[in-house]
């Protein structure tokens, strides 16, 4: 229970920072990772029977400190962090986003951490599409796609966007708010209904 309160408090703080300053402070993410691991270690020390084995804490039972044991906390940190580092290298994902999702993995373990990550990407992509439609308009967006397709067919070059179109697609996306919503969906098992 303490881990979930800390996780949601950190995610609300991250959302405020991301919306207000477009940055996620290292104190918040690294502090969250440390808190997650320390709470998991304390949970394992206090209730070893509930946190032994690969799967960590018993599902469906609210534990007083952490959601998972220390092994699953470190594994969640490594798995979610590793996937996000790959996204950072390949797709240019922001460093704060990498640390934020690694922190979530440390709190929830590898399985729920990856599930939160997938929901975060889904919600973030949906938000990006809505933002693009809002800023350009649906009709204008279809026109621009049509012009780009005609240029591609005529020239055969993949470089069919002008500078304005490239700038529009390179807008910085927010990850903290979708991560907060995704965590609510996974922790309270609402994602099972969807």
Tell the residue number behind the tokens 């609300």, with chain if given. 12
Tell the residue number behind the tokens 């394992």, with chain if given. 44
**pLDDT top residue among 173 and 21:** 21
Task: Determine if the pTM surpasses 0.75.
Answer: yes
**pLDDT top residue among 149 and 159:** 149
Query: How far apart are alpha carbons 150 and 61 in whole angstroms?
Result: 58
Q: Is the pLDDT of residue 52 over 60?
A: no
Amino acid 193: pLDDT: 81
Query: How far apart are alpha carbons 92 and 86 in whole angstroms?
Result: 9
What secondary structure letter does DSSP report for 55? T
Lowest mean pLDDT among 15-19, 94-98, 158-162: 158-162
Q: What is the mean pLDDT of residues 121-135?
A: 89
Give residue-wise pLDDT tens across range 57-112.
Answer: 434 455 677 888 899 999 999 999 999 999 999 988 889 999 999 999 999 999 99
Query: How far apart are alpha carbons 147 and 165 in whole angstroms?
Result: 11
Tell the residue number behind the tokens 């092994």, with chain if given. 71
Q: What is the mean pLDDT of residues 130-136?
A: 86
Collapsing DSSP states into helix, strand and coil, what is residue 31?
helix
Amino acid 92: pLDDT: 83
Amino acid 160: pLDDT: 67
Highest mean predicted confidence (pLDDT) among 84-98, 130-144, 154-168: 84-98
Residues 124, 130, 132, 134: is their CA dihedral positive or negative?
negative
Cβ neighbours of residue 36 closer than 8 Å, sequence gap 6 or more = 3, 6, 7, 66, 73, 77, 103, 106, 107
């Amino acid at each position: 229970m303490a881990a979930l309160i800390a996780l949601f408090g950190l995610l609300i703080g991250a959302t405020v920072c991301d919306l207000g300053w477009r940055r996620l402070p290292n104190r918040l993410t690294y502090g969250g990772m440390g808190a997650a691991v320390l709470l998991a270690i304390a949970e394992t020390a206090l209730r070893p029977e509930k946190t032994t084995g690969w799967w960590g804490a018993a599902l469906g039972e609210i534990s007083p400190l952490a959601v998972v044991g220390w092994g699953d906390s470190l594994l969640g940190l490594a798995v979610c962090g590793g996937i996000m580092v790959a996204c950072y290298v390949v797709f240019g994902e922001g460093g704060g986003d990498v640390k934020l999702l690694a922190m979530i993995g440390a709190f929830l373990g590898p399985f729920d951490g990856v599930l939160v990550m997938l929901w975060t990407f889904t919600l973030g992509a949906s938000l990006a599409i809505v933002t693009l439609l809002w800023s350009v308009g649906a009709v204008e967006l279809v026109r621009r796609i049509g012009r780009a397709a005609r240029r591609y067919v005529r020239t055969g070059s993949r470089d069919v966007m002008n500078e304005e179109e490239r700038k529009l697609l390179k807008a910085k996306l927010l990850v903290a708010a979708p991560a907060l919503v995704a965590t609510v969906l996974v922790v309270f098992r609402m994602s099972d209904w969807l």
